[in-house]
Amino acid sequence: MRANVLRMTPYTPGKPIDEVKRELGLTSVVKLASNENPLGPGAKALAAVQEAALSMHLYPDASGYELRQAISAKFGVSDAMVMLGNGSDELIHMLGLVFLEAGDNVVIGAPSFVRYDAAADLSDVELRRVPLDSTWRHDLEAMAAVCDARTKLVFVANPHNPTGTVLTHTEVVAFLDALPSGCVAVLDEAYYEYSADVEDRLDAVTLLKAGRNVVILRTFSKAFGLAGIRVGFGLASAEVVDAVNRAREPFNVNSLAQAGAIAALSDSDHLAESVRVNLDGLSRIENAMRGWGFETVSSRANFICVNVRRDGNEVFQALLREGIIVRSGVPLGMPEYIRVSIGNSDEMSAFLSAFERVVVGVGV
Ligand SMILES: Cc1ncc(COP(=O)(O)O)c(C=O)c1O
């Protein structure tokens, strides 16, 4: 077997609710670990998926024609610039396969979303990790400085995962100006919809339309509430989309996912409510933590990192015993933090009272 594959670490998903119930004998468990939408899918998407289920004996449309049309109309780009993936995870994977050859390198922030590492490792190329700055934002100058003629991909998530931090449009433009010409900037906007109120917000679509060397990734897993049926999309030059289409599996996005995504795209009420509930939850956690004297990382995503000033694993375990699943910052590269996904109002109350009992109550 290839040594680079054996060096890869399998992805660790958030702990499943049923497993925690079984292991700890709990009846009620709240999962705030995978940045899912606490409202669930919208009614329109649900109805479309139910309808599509009647045809599940047929192969899906391999080109995803209708969904690509809907996306191309929404963003004002040609459908030749739209690619679909089995989640945006698959598109990250495909970009690695399509771009990377022996001797190339990939540049990412540290910490960063773990699937970027996998894209580089699978192609056995060098991964250059550039530490985030002291406020947990990408250090774009340092990232540009380590790019060279063999840097094929640089991944920038905005809002970033695991931190939730954002960059401005001006900062990203300066970064793109500083990149070597052969380097593609992958602007991963999985959490885009939650960041509406950011000043000088990154407008990646305009950059793509202006011919910048960028690939934009978006997903239906977060604000659109469809993580379980796996569908994401990318906007890129027609050449990049063509290359990914040649290399991908023909039926990578299933028919239920295609139908659900088309419906979700037109459900502005569900989207607006998802964003509103998220902002509520974010500010509740920020306020409570401020009141207790714990710092949070400024987030425009559907999760927030809390500096717990002790080993993140300990706090993760203590909350788990209370029936609350969060992410320890230890495997995420933020050892004294926990990352908490934003839930609905009841879930936020459950998290905050558990945190008060097992963290605030025991002192530092
Ligand atoms: C930054 C980032 N990109 C991409 C993804 C992948 O999302 P999906 O494959 O569900 O579209 C995630 C998921 O958590 C993420 O945090």
**pLDDT tens readout for residues 219-258:** 999 999 999 999 999 999 999 999 999 999 999 999 999 9
Provide the CB-side half-sphere exposure for 39 (13 A, CA): 22
Mean pLDDT of the chain: 96
Q: How confident is the model at residue 362 (pLDDT cuts 50, 70, 90)?
A: confident
Options 1.20.1250.20, 2.40.30.40, 3.40.50.2300, 3.40.640.10; CATH of 43-266: 3.40.640.10
Residue-wise DSSP of 201-244: B--HHHHHHTT-SEEEEEESSSTT--GGG--EEEE--HHHHHHH
Q: How confident is the model at residue 10 (pLDDT cuts 50, 70, 90)?
A: confident
CB atoms within 10 A of CB 149: 11
Distance in angstroms (rounded) separating the CA atoms of residues 67 and 38: 24
pLDDT score at 14: 78
Fold of the CATH domain 3-31+269-360: Aspartate Aminotransferase, domain 1 (3.90.1150)
Tell me the CA distances in angstroms from 339 to 84, 108, 332, one per residue in order. Answer: 29, 20, 9
For residue 307, what are the β-bridge partners? 337
Give the residue ranges of DSSP H helices in the chain: 3-7, 17-24, 43-53, 65-75, 88-99, 114-122, 140-146, 169-178, 204-209, 238-247, 255-265, 268-292, 312-321, 345-355
**pLDDT tens readout for residues 308-344:** 999 999 999 999 999 999 999 999 999 999 999 999 9
CB atoms within 10 A of CB 6: 7
Residues 6+ apart with CB under 8 A from 79: 68, 69, 71, 72
Pocket test for ligand 1, best of 222, 224, 300 (most atoms within 8 A of CB): 222
- Percent of the chain surpassing pLDDT 90: 93
What is the arithmetic mean of pLDDT over 86-109? 98
Distance in angstroms (rounded) separating the CA atoms of residues 219 and 349: 28
Question: Is residue 9 pLDDT above 90, yes or no?
Answer: no
**pLDDT tens readout for residues 276-308:** 999 999 999 999 999 999 999 999 999 999 999
Closest Cα partner for 218 from 327, 81, 16?
81
Q: Determine the distance separating the centroid of ligand 1 and the alpha carbon of 101, expressed in angstroms.
A: 24
pLDDT score at 364: 58
Token pair in block for residue 43: 């009614």
Pocket test for ligand 1, best of 94, 166, 188 (most atoms within 8 A of CB): 188
CB-based pocket (< 6 A), ligand 1: 35, 87-89, 113, 157, 161, 188, 190, 219, 221, 227, 232
**pLDDT tens readout for residues 109-127:** 999 999 999 999 999 999 9
Q: Determine the distance separating the centroid of ligand 1 and the alpha carbon of 363, expressed in angstroms.
A: 35
- Percent of the chain surpassing pLDDT 70: 99
C-alpha 252 chain-centroid distance: 19
Q: Determine the distance separating the centroid of ligand 1 and the alpha carbon of 52, expressed in angstroms.
A: 25
For residue 339, what are the β-bridge partners? 305, 327
**pLDDT tens readout for residues 168-191:** 999 999 999 999 999 999 999 999
Token pair in block for residue 241: 């989309």
Assess contact for 241 and 26: CB atoms under 8 A: no
Distance in angstroms (rounded) separating the CA atoms of residues 184 and 234: 13
Q: Determine the distance separating the centroid of ligand 1 and the alpha carbon of 293, expressed in angstroms.
A: 31
Q: Determine the distance separating the centroid of ligand 1 and the alpha carbon of 193, expressed in angstroms.
A: 13
Query: Could you tell me the residue ranges of all domains in the chain?
Result: 3-31+269-360, 43-266
Q: Which atom of ligand 1 sits closest to the CA of residue 219?
A: 11
Q: Which residue's CA is the closest to the ligand 1 atom numbered 16? A: 161
Token pair in block for residue 10: 């399998």
Q: Which residue's CA is the closest to the ligand 1 atom numbered 3? A: 190
Place of tokens 């192609």: 123
Q: Which atom of ligand 1 sits closest to the CA of residue 34?
A: 14
Question: Is residue 99 pLDDT above 80, yes or no?
Answer: yes
Q: Which residue has the higher pLDDT, 163 or 17?
A: 163
Rg, the chain, Cα only: 20
Residues 6+ apart with CB under 8 A from 157: 109, 112, 113, 188, 189, 190, 191
pLDDT score at 11: 83
Pocket test for ligand 1, best of 158, 221, 300 (most atoms within 8 A of CB): 221
Distance in angstroms (rounded) separating the CA atoms of residues 335 and 268: 38
What is the arithmetic mean of pLDDT over 24-44? 95
What is the per-residue burial (b if ≥16 Cβ within 10 Å, else e) of 73-109? eebebebebbbbbbbbbbbbbbbbebbbeeebbbbbb
